[in-house]
Amino acid sequence: MSRDRDRSAHSILKNTAVSEIFPAPLWIVDLKRGVHEPLNRSLRRHIVDLLTQRRSTGIGIPLQTDPILHTLEEFGDVMSIVRNAVSATPDSLDTDHEGFEITGCWANINPTGAVNSSHNHPNNYLSGVYYVATPPNSGNIEFVAPRLQAMSIVPPIKRRNKFNSNSVSLDVKPGRLVRFPARLAHSVRVNQSLGDRITISFNAMFTDFGTRMTKPLWTN
């Protein structure tokens, strides 16, 4: 009887469709090898110089600079790339804004055994990472599904796809620039390599957020 009902239901349907709602975008840019190789050699020297005094923090402990790289002349080339990428991001979102400003930029060194737990970046609209050095098995960036109910019911998965995955691991490599919504929780898996994983992270916010964009969306 049930099979007959199913057959009857299909006979009256014109079509069925799956609609994707509330996607979380990732913007990925890969620099040409001839650009990122000399750039990353220079960045590595500057980052190591900044963190030389912090090498005594212990084995497996991530190292981090102050979030001021966007104000330092020696990071001008990479910040020019970051600013150009950030400026282009909202075009695909059709947002009404008057520009972006970098609110913080810092370098990270994850030595062997280091890991970054899941977190997001409050009070910003965009966040991103530029990859300077990524030895094999030094840890991908992993994004967690922005759904409160994501782990409430977890049925067995026959084949992983974007509708049943609660996290996404993104492959990384030198010269890759990744931007994402700052609200999106992300983490970095343990560095299982014998080398340092070196990245530059940044946040960006609408320049006119406090003066114009926070105004009420309604009128009396």
Between CA 205 and CA 211, with CA 208 as vertex, the angle to 5 degrees is: 125
Question: Residue 56: pLDDT band by 50, 70, 90 thresholds?
Answer: low
Query: 126 pLDDT exceeds 70?
Result: yes
Decide if 79 contacts 130 (C-beta within 8 A): no
Domains by residue range for the chain, with CATH: 22-115+124-139+173-184+191-207 (2.60.120.620)
Taking the C-alpha atoms of residue 37 and residue 174, their distance in angstroms, rounded to an integer, is: 8
Angle between helices 76-88 and 33-51 (to 10 degrees): 120
Question: Tell me: the pLDDT tens digits for 77-108?
Answer: 999 999 999 988 767 778 888 889 999 999 99
Question: Which whole number is the average pLDDT over 55-63?
Answer: 74
Pick the closest to residue 140 from 28, 20, 4 (CA basis). 28
3-state secondary structure the chain: CHHHHHHHHHHHCCCCCCCCCCCCCCEEEECCHHHHHHHHHHHHHHHHHHHHHHHHHCCCCCEECCCEHHHCHHHHHHHHHHHHHHHHHHHHCCCCCCCEEEEEEEEEEECCCCCEEEECCCCCCEEEEEEEECCCCCCCEEEECCCCCCCCCCCCCCCCCCCCCCEEEECCCCCEEEEEECCCCEEECCCCCCCCEEEEEEEEEECCHHHHHCCCCCCC
Q: What SS3 state is found at 56?
A: helix
Question: Tell me: the pLDDT tens digits for 149-190?
Answer: 777 778 888 998 888 888 899 999 999 999 999 999 999 999
Least confident stretch, 15-24, 58-67, 197-206, 211-220: 211-220
**Strand partners of residue 102:** 204
Percentage with pLDDT > 70 across the chain: 90
**pTM exceeds 0.85:** yes
Question: Which whole number is the average pLDDT over 53-60?
Answer: 65
Question: Residue 12: pLDDT band by 50, 70, 90 thresholds?
Answer: confident
Between residues 19 and 216, the one the model is more confident about: 19
